Amino acid sequence: MADEAPDLRTFIDLSVVLTGFSEVELLGTGMAALYYGTVRGAVGEGVMGDLLATFRAVSHGGGDLETAMRTRILGDPRLGQVARNLITLWYVGNWYEMSQLWRDAYGISPSDVTRVVSAESYQQGLMWAAGETHPQGAHQPGFGTWALPPARSSS
């Protein structure tokens, strides 16, 4: 869809701030478009649109980004849990069903189901890179590499 591109762009910018991973690292997982669809499907276009619009305002608003993220997104009853779920989606590769309180307040989507989003999403979970290792069962590092001291990445 033609109008999806700018939203996907904002989604990636938001993801960079939420995850602490760079844009190249996030795009390097190949998961951005799938995750955009996952979140939108689970919480609906309205919530997704508001999340991205709020982030645009926050990131263009100047001032302290951390404070603005906490007050306007992470601390927002409607958007906060979505943002936290977006973080865990990137880090783990799983979508976790929104809490019952949230669903009562803001609606239920049939796509809001706890699941591993795909075989690839598991392998691309950022938690492995954050822990300076590789996903269990994938991205093998090669014979004997485990006997070497852990490499501390430069980032």
Partner 1 sequence: MIETLEDLERHLEAAVQLELSVIPPYLCALYTLQPGANEEVSQIIRSVVVEEMLHMILAANVLNAVDGRLRMTDPGFVPTYPTYLPDGNESFLVHLLPFSPEAVETFLKIEEPSYEPPPAAMESLAKTAAAKPPVPLRLAELGPYETVGDFYKAIIKGIEHLVDKLGEREVFQGNPERQIPPEIYYYAGGGQPIAVHDLRSAKAAMEQIVDQGEGETCSMYDGDGDLAHYFRFMEIKYGRRYEPGQRQGLALSLSEVPRGEPFPVSYEAVYPMLRDPRTGDYPAGELRQASLAVDAAYSHLIRQLQSAFDGRKDLLLPAVGTMFELKYKALELLKNPLPGQPGVNAGPAFEYVP
Partner 2 sequence: MMEDYDVVIVGAGIAGAILAKVLTQGGRSVLLLEAGTATAMTWDGYLSNLNSFYTALAKVPESPYPYNPDAPQPDVLAIGIPGSGYFVQDGPVAYGSTYTRTAGGTTLHWLGTCLRMLPEDFELRSRFGVGRDWPFAYGDLRDDYGLAEMEIGVAAEVEEQEYLGITFPKGYVYPMHKIPQSWSDQVLGQVIDGRSVDLDGRPRELKVRSTPQGRNSIPNANYRYPKGREPRDGQDRGYRPVGAVDPRPRGQDLARDLGQRCAGNSACVPICPIQAKYNALKTLVHADGDRLTVRTQAVASRVLADPAGGRILGIEYKAYESPNSPAYTTQVARGRVYVLAAHAVENAKLLLASNLAGTSGQLGRNLMDHPVLLRWGLMPEPVGSFRGPLSTSGIEDLRGGEFRAARAAFRVEVGNDGWTWPTGSPESEVLQAVGQGNLFGSRLRAQLRETLSRQIRLGFLVEQLPDPANRVTIDPQYRDAIGNFRPVIQYGLSDYTLAGMGAGTMLAERLFQWLGMADRTNAAQSLLSQITWRNQLFLWGGAGHFAGTHVMGSTPASSVVDSWQRCWDHENLFAVGCGSFPTMGTSNPTLTLAATTFRTARAILKDLEAYAPASGSAPTGEERRP
**Residue 58 phi/psi, 5° resolution?**
-65, -45
The two structure tokens encoding residue 122: 């598991």
Residue 12 interacts with partner 1 (CB under 8 A)? no
Residue 66 CB, shortest distance to partner 2, in Å, is 8
Phi, psi of 139 (to 5 degrees): 50, 55
CA distances from 36 to 6, 41, 61, 106, 145 (A): 12, 8, 24, 19, 35
Beta strands in the chain (DSSP E): 94-95, 115-116
Q: Which residues of 123-147 are buried (b: 16+ CB within 10 A; e: fewer)?
A: bbbbebbeeeeeeeeeeeeeeeeee
The values of phi and psi at residue 94, to 5°, are -105, 145
Sites for partner 1 among residues 105-124 (CB under 8 A): 119-120
| Interacting partner of 128 out of partner 2, partner 1, none (Cβ under 5 to 8 A depending on kind) | partner 2
- According to the binding rule CB under 8 A, does residue 136 interact with partner 2? yes
Q: Indicate whether 84 belongs to the interface with partner 2 (CB under 8 A).
A: yes
Exactly one of 59, 88, 109, 111 binds partner 2 (CB under 8 A); that residue is 88
Options 17-25, 37-45, 60-68, 100-108: segment touching partner 1 (CB under 8 A): 17-25
Q: Which residues bind partner 1 (CB under 8 A)?
A: 22-25, 27-30, 119-120, 134, 139-145, 148
Q: Which residues bind partner 2 (CB under 8 A)?
A: 17-21, 66, 69, 74, 83-84, 87-88, 91-92, 94, 96, 114-116, 118-120, 122-123, 126-128, 130-134, 136-138, 140-150, 152
